[in-house]
Structure 1
Amino acid sequence: MTPTVTGHDERHLFIGGKWVEGSGSPYEIVNPATEQPIGLAPEATADDAAQAAAAARDAFGAWSRTTPGERSALLSAAAELVRKRAEELLPLLIAETGATVSVGSKLQVPVCADRFERYARGALQDLNLPLAPKITEATPLAPGGVIGATAVRQPVGVVACITPYNFPIGNMAGKVAPALAMGNTVVIKPAPQDPFGVIELVRILEEVGVPPGVVNLVNSRGAEAAAALVESPDVDMVSFTGSTAVGVRIAEAGSRTMKRLLLELGGKGACVVLDDADVAGAVTAIGSTFAFHSGQICTAPTRAIVHRAVYDQVVERLAGFAGALKVGDPMERDTIVGPLISAAQRQRVEDYIRLGVDEGAKLVSGGGRPPALERGYYVEPTLFAECRNDMRVAREEIFGPVVVVVPVDGEDEAVALANDSEYGLYDYVYSKDSARAFRVARQLRAGHVGVNTAQRNLEAPFGGFKMSGVGRDGGDFGLYAYSELQSVIWPG
């Protein structure tokens, strides 16, 4: 049954180590499975955001001088407390995000804890880069001699962490933990649809002893607070996960003050299924678009580019896969497809489904709202076949349980169509010939390519080509992302 989370009122922001009321009027958070309010969330103004950035700036000097061991201990304590509070966090996360109990219990909470633990270890890593000494002739600047050098990692400064609605606490931990590990201070701005889990994480960080100003939180339903952070002279870096359109605006505004940017943006993942592919494995991967958080994931293989030799099999099996998935109450353990985050997102997905039909794509399965579910922002898993790559449903990010299948006649055409996209976040290749699959993978213009798997390696660099973003995080690359290289040079 759906979680009975109600009355979860959070009117306070966290600024400079204190919980202070937002200057704007609180607004309702709605459970996407029931369309009923969960509680009220705080509304920050631009002035609130400016105060949070100033608090982070004031705290930066002392925090950046803490030892790696001190930062590691705090992050490790946060990981431990997240795990202890998992049963308390889970119903709240499901209520505000619509994630199924499986996604919430196996990914949302564990990934959050694991990321704090990973960067507790990361804080202790020696990232300095010793460089070979160089014999240098005398110049008008200085005498000659053997000149030594090393490249050291320094914190960037104040980081604005703007997180998405699909994985609020996991994404927040993936930004905040490496930023703190490297000695930065942060201002967190969660997605307006589901801020409660992120607020609870900030309470956990407060409980484990984060110093005042090191972690700050502002929340708002509009763009005012986030825009103020992006434009603030006190903010040195913006780390944002969300749509490409918003990422472009952040890049434009942030460039005026030369902010460092880490932008993880949209995707339209191509899954290239070659004529010798394991069809069952490919279908399971593509079907994850339906099954995993109702397709609200930027890495989903939403665009299947399938060789005609196996095309009919793939379409038939995908239709069967979609039809077998239980759509419904996210708290029921056998539910696979929960609701979309909001009425607006459901409307967006439904508009794209109508567009696909109008463009001439063949609607194979789904396309509507589940008739048995009168409330909740549900959309049936939807499969389009006989698509062309120039259709909008094959080019634009839908962010819902919708898959399009594009037939091709050969490998070269498959690669060309996969690359014919403004996005380049995550692609996939399926072939029983691993050498062939790797050859195709190297030709794909994407930040990630899954070869015969939809699994992730969280130590691998994460980020996209083209309009899918700027920069990389994940594993050690997260430590690099939240630091600046400084060269130190001396006479040998």
Structure 2
Amino acid sequence: MQEHKQFYINGAWVDAIEGTDYNVINPTTEEPCAVIALGGQADADAAVAAAKAALPGWMATPVEQRIEALERVYAAYKARAEDLAQAMSLAMGAPQDLARTAQVGAGIAHLKGFINAAKAFDWEKPLGDHAPDTIIRHEAVGVCALITPWNWPMNQITLKVGAALVAGNTMVLKPSEESALDGIVFAEIMDAAGLPKGVFNLVNGDGAGVGSRLSSHPDVDMVSFTGSTRAGIAISKAAAETLKRVHLELGGKGANLVFADADDKAIKRGVLHMMNNTGQSCNAPSRMIVEASRYDAAVEEAAATANKVTVGPADEEGRHIGPVVNESQWNKIQDLIQKGIDEGARLVAGGLGRPEGLNKGFYVRPTVFADVTNDMTIAREEIFGPVLSILKFETEEEAVQIANDTPYGLTNYVQSTDVERRHRLARQLRSGMVEMNGKPRGPGAPFGGVKASGNGREAGSWGIHDFVEVKAISGWLDE
């Protein structure tokens, strides 16, 4: 069993000051696979102090040198790609193929995106032709606390670290204790990149300990958090005392509007997207809302597609889905499946318990409910597992009403071959992102939501904007 009880603070691996042992559980076997230390207030304080001391020098570093540093991180990240994949597969249950491609690949794409965005970013420019003597300058926010989740670990870590680093911030990263192993590999990557001491620091801990201390710390200027809406609210309250900036990327309950004229692959595409990463994605299209004339056929196809999704161990290669991350998540998903049954939704695929032949491991049956109404619990709450709810609509107006009738607003989806309809819907859907006909957002497109899905945007130039302050300077030119 692996043992990782040190934190990366001020350019060195150091023992925890207030460390308590924590077993990282392999969700495939339900057995401990590693022991880490969960830090306390003193560990968080030490990391913040190191970041604060490093801030003036790193802020003053020319942007060209900061870009060069990010390029070194990018190269070191690619060199450790397999180590990252194995760490994510072991601790959070991503199957080998998914871990090596989407999980690791997300970080590669984001780091490269920030390098390109930073080179094109207007770090300093005149206000305009009407006021050439006034300069608008983008500067680092300061010391940033980066609190990341377990479901897409490298996706979220690189979205925060890449933007914060190239913008001139110093930082303390607290990865989820459920996926701490990949966070440790990432800290080794940052060390290999040769950054100045204190620019990047890592402290493992839980939300109640290290997380709450970072959120309320007077020397932390910004908190960037990805996770549950409940935790985001708590972080916002803690941060309010010191008026620090708070960036939140929270939950979702994405609507996937399928019209009668949608392409032939729309239903299968929606189901497989929902099941990807075992449903553990905040932007999952978890509510499939289908036009009445296509509804019955869609339910039948969705059930058949879900029944073909295979489930298996994370340490095996293949296109299967793995276990969910831990017992708590497994129990929550089972309770919500039962709630769907109790509230009258029609179970057409999957259901309670583990898939046949898998008696150990936190496996969930790929599940589809039909005849769901938007007031049911499974249509309101984020399940964060491979569970799809199918609803029916009669008119375009009703489809929009159902889609927007949710506390969340992260990603919505539209399936239709009618271009004008797609344009109308894209404008009416209340979400930070709308994806249509299976086409992904372009590289560097902003990621983030509205309402209970949070605030702020990540990726590309939008991500850099979230980690800078805007300074207006007059009297710039000689008279």
Q: How does 1:51-450 map to 2 (within 5 A)?
A: 51-127=46-122, 128-134=124-130, 148-290=133-275, 292-368=276-352, 369-450=354-435
Q: 1:280 to 1:122 in 2, by over 3 A?
A: closer
Structure 1 residues 334-359: Cα deviation after superposition (integer angstroms, max 9, x where no partner): 24211000000000000000000111
Q: 1:222 to 1:151 in 2, by over 3 A?
A: closer
Query: What is aligned with 1:24?
Result: 19
Q: d(CA) in 2 for partners of 1:328 and 1:126?
A: 44
Tell whether the 8 Å contact from 1:98 to 1:341 is kept in structure 2 after alignment: yes
Tell whether the 8 Å contact from 1:307 to 1:409 is kept in structure 2 after alignment: yes
Q: How far 1:25 moved relative to its partner?
A: 1.5
Instruction: Give the aligned residue type for 1:425.
Output: L
Structure 1 residues 181-212: Cα deviation after superposition (integer angstroms, max 9, x where no partner): 00000000001111111111111111121111
Tell whether the 8 Å contact from 1:302 to 1:404 is kept in structure 2 after alignment: yes
Q: d(CA) in 2 for partners of 1:287 and 1:364?
A: 16
Instruction: Give the aligned residue type for 1:297.
Output: S
Structure 1 residues 199-236: Cα deviation after superposition (integer angstroms, max 9, x where no partner): 11111111121111100111113521110001001100
Tell whether the 8 Å contact from 2:145 to 2:215 is kept in structure 1 after alignment: yes
Q: Please state if 1:14 is matched with 2:3.
A: no
Q: Which moved more, 1:121-130 or 1:17-26?
A: 121-130
Q: d(CA) in 2 for partners of 1:383 and 1:282?
A: 12
Q: How far 1:47 moved relative to its partner?
A: 1.4
Tell whether the 8 Å contact from 1:311 to 1:407 is kept in structure 2 after alignment: yes
Q: d(CA) in 1 for partners of 2:81 and 2:121?
A: 32
Q: How far 1:429 moved relative to its partner?
A: 0.7
Q: d(CA) in 1 for partners of 2:344 and 2:445?
A: 39
Structure 1: segments with no counterpart, 5+ residues: 1-6, 135-145
Structure 1 residues 409-459: Cα deviation after superposition (integer angstroms, max 9, x where no partner): 111000001000000000001111122112112110011011111523231
Q: 1:131 to 1:282 in 2, by over 3 A?
A: farther
Structure 1 residues 151-196: Cα deviation after superposition (integer angstroms, max 9, x where no partner): 1101000110000100112210110011000000000000111111
Q: d(CA) in 1 for partners of 2:250 and 2:208?
A: 17
Tell whether the 8 Å contact from 1:149 to 1:487 is kept in structure 2 after alignment: yes
Q: Secondary structure of the equivalent of 1:193?
A: helix
Where has structure 1 moved over 6 Å in runs of 4 or more? none
Query: What is aligned with 1:476?
Result: 461
Q: How large is the RMSD of aligned CA atoms in angstroms? A: 1.5
Q: d(CA) in 2 for partners of 1:126 and 1:397?
A: 36
Tell whether the 8 Å contact from 2:348 to 2:368 is kept in structure 1 after alignment: yes
Q: Secondary structure of the equivalent of 1:311?
A: helix
Tell whether the 8 Å contact from 1:133 to 1:148 is kept in structure 2 after alignment: no
Tell whether the 8 Å contact from 2:110 to 2:460 is kept in structure 1 after alignment: no
Tell whether the 8 Å contact from 2:271 to 2:305 is kept in structure 1 after alignment: no
* TM-score, with length taken from structure 2: 0.96
Tell whether the 8 Å contact from 1:97 to 1:194 is kept in structure 2 after alignment: yes
Q: Secondary structure of the equivalent of 1:194?
A: helix
Q: What percent identity do the matched residue pairs reach?
A: 39
Tell whether the 8 Å contact from 1:133 to 1:149 is kept in structure 2 after alignment: no
Instruction: Give the aligned residue type for 1:155.
Output: A
